[in-house]
Amino acid sequence: MQLIDNWKQALSMTSVQAGGAIAVLGIAEQLMPQLQPVLPPVAYGVLGFLVMVARVILQPKLAK
């Protein structure tokens, strides 16, 4: 496995942040079932799409 050149900046990447949001929402929904009516399943699809879009958009904050 080979890492990307700027792997140390991973937490600054919008796609990593959006992926983290998906993970946090999934865990929160499992720990607190009362969130299930608040978070519709389509929310995960929208966040997943955001990850794909964020991955291809230039992020000037990461430019060296």
With a cut of 70, say whether residue 63 has pLDDT above it. Answer: no
Instruction: List C-alpha distances in Å: 13 to 8, 27, 33, 35, 53.
Output: 10, 21, 30, 27, 12
Domain boundaries, the chain: 9-59
pTM: 0.70
Confidence of residue 64 (pLDDT cuts 50, 70, 90): low
pLDDT (tens digit, 9 = 90+) per residue, 20-61? 988 998 898 889 888 888 878 888 888 888 888 888 887 777
- Averaged pLDDT for residues 8-30: 86
